[in-house]
Amino acid sequence: MEQETDPTPTLPSQPNPTYDPTKPSITIPLDNQGSILKRNIVISPAVKNPTSLTTALLGLLSPSPSTAQWSLDPAGHAITRSYVLDTAEQARLFRERISTVSDEMNHHARVSLEAAVTGPTAAAAEEDTEADLGKATVTAITVIVTCTTHQPPGLSMRDVRLARRIDGLALELG
């Protein structure tokens, strides 16, 4: 399994929010040259030790040469990671394993799938014959996983523990 790397700890489709130094934050190293990104985070009120949470999140958000990192959503409420898989079967198996672990932990991740398709696009498919539709092939499946605490809202150690378990599942899948 390929793990997609994201050089910035923000979701690519979202703008980078304004940093507010009066709110809880995390300083994320972006490279070995000292570049950093300060981001606000929303810490769940249930968290007893915010420093431990921030340290644990830093381990997930910091870039590593051997693995992709999780990214912090623009509002600082959730962490997200993408995994690129070769087949729909691998994606199905990974999703099932995430569901099982989430049930065991009683803390559920949001999982979505995106397929990379070559061949006719949906718009072109309307004009093409049915025979041409069969030429589209799925080249990869991206599994997007988001962890957040809903009640009380914000990030918690439960999100960190679940993210680590999901990373372990990805390694097992190969």
Q: Closest Cα partner for 68 from 8, 21, 147?
A: 8
Per-residue model confidence (pLDDT) at position 27: 87
* pLDDT tens sequence across 83-127: 999 888 999 999 999 999 999 999 999 999 998 877 665 555 445
User: Cα(32)–Cα(84) distance, rounded to whole angstroms?
Assistant: 26
Q: What does the pLDDT read at residue 68?
A: 63
Please list the ranges in the chain whose pLDDT falls under 50. 2-15, 125-126, 128-131, 133
Q: What pLDDT is recorded for position 132? A: 52
pTM of the model: 0.76
Question: Which pLDDT does position 149 carry in this prediction?
Answer: 93
Return the pLDDT at 4.
46
Name the nearest CA neighbour of 164 among 88, 109, 90, 86.
109
Distance CA 167, CA 56 (A): 14
The pLDDT value given to residue 8: 37
Distance CA 6, CA 71 (A): 8
C-alpha to C-alpha distance for 38 and 28, rounded to whole angstroms: 6
Architecture of domain 2-173: 2-Layer Sandwich (3.30)
Mapping DSSP onto H, E and C, the string for the chain reads CEECCCCCCCCCCCCCCCCCCCCCEEEEECCCCCCEEEEECCECCCCCCHHHHHHHHHHHHCCECCECCCEECCCCCCEEEEEEECCHHHHHHHHHHHHHHHHHHCCCCEEEEEEEEECCCHHHHHHCCHHHHCCCEEEEEEEEEEECECCCCEECHHHHHHHHHHHHHHHHHC
The confidence score (pLDDT) of residue 115 equals 86
* Alpha carbon separation from 167 to 15, 29, 101, 126, 172 (Å, rounded): 26, 20, 11, 40, 9
For residue 84, list its beta bridge partners.
Answer: 2, 142
